[in-house]
Structure 1
């Protein structure tokens, strides 16, 4: 029997060996996880994109956008002008001679050195802004000129009028004035203290009336601004209804859909507040000349105070907040009603 050759055994061994299986490739979708940093960058990027888009849409239709912003500006300029007018009114009263004052009648037996010391003490008082001393001779002369009884007063042996101190208080609040008057009455140098509380009460009531009127007007016109923004954003939503349906079909959330409209409301409010500040500033500039001429004719250097940076910041920030709230109200009502079927 023949032995198998080496070539024959090698060929048999090659036939008996099985081929190794090939590595299988994974098929289908691969789930990828996004980190917190990626989500944050995507959220910030979308906000930046929507803010830029809102600005582009605002300036793409300058006439319509400008009309809406102008309506908001007029509504905001009215209470702002009234409040600024109250501030200038109070400043004008601070330098007016007819502001509240306290008349302090001194004892006729008081010595001149004691009167001088008492006068200097009042001038150093923090509650007293100004002290004017009227001697008995000056009081008599003024009485003769104002009353027309000069001849009758000349026949008197002694001057019946005492020395008077006219005090202009630092604080015109009613409680402070009463406390200051009572403190003066308790002094041994005073014979009588006269405080014109009726004038003070009228001034306080007039100021309070103006403040309440300004606050009420501001609330009413703020509601008007909200209605303007709500109606404008509602029209934007209706114009982009098909776009909203498409993005919702591909899985967009309500937050994603409402974001551009919220930025549009911010734009309307911000530019409306900026225009309101410009309107008030222009009004003050127009009135500054006549007011300065009127005050100079009375020997006063009073000038109107215009709306500065605090007014600009308050108007733009407050109007932008109103625009945001109005846009949110419009979006919350109308976006949910737009759903793909």
Structure 2
């Protein structure tokens, strides 16, 4: 018999073999009613009853049962004889089981009770890798980068935003900007770097304002009318203020002017008055940017511009 036929026959025997613990147990003999009456009559007559043979079982160790195993109908074939010890040669490489089956998360309690070593669970979040901080730029390179950004911004930019863009500590940005501003002032350039609206931006110097106005306003009309400028001044110095209060100060209805200022982004709503429920208005960041101010506290005082008889005018309006 060849090796292949021998392997096939052993495989068939192994496939058809049923373990003893899975085989059906022999059914217990049933006793008919006539036999039961005969046995009871024999017992009454004093005849000794036939000894009961112990029940055969495939699982020894139970009380009152035989410990002899049931003979298998077919010979038991060891697994080593069915599965060859040599690996099957195929065209694909043999992949180890450890590379295919991932490690299973075993709870600490279960592993301790079974004596199994604890493994790293599959899918557990590993601690986040903290990125290394960017290297600090040299002072000259940082200064140049700040100047390049400030030349292209269309609104004041804060130190925090500059630090995030350049990936540098925020505490380095402020001193460098102060140094740049001082350098522009010392050099007498036609522009300067100053704080405005909570950020930094380049502005032309006041002494060159006439030349800038001639270039910008040549052939153009003033954007804001006199009424809009007056209304904007009232809002700037009295904010937050209602429309009725603005109209009372100016002496005319200012609803249309307020809508114009809101549309152009110079004035915005900031809540309602608690007593009347009227809307309150204040100046915006764009207003500070256009005037080159950092806060409204930098507005010039009104006392030098007030008339001498302001108290008489106030009494006349009452």
TM-score with structure 1 setting the length: 0.17
**Which has a greater percent of helix?**
1
TM-score with structure 2 setting the length: 0.18
Q: Which has the greater radius of gyration?
A: 2
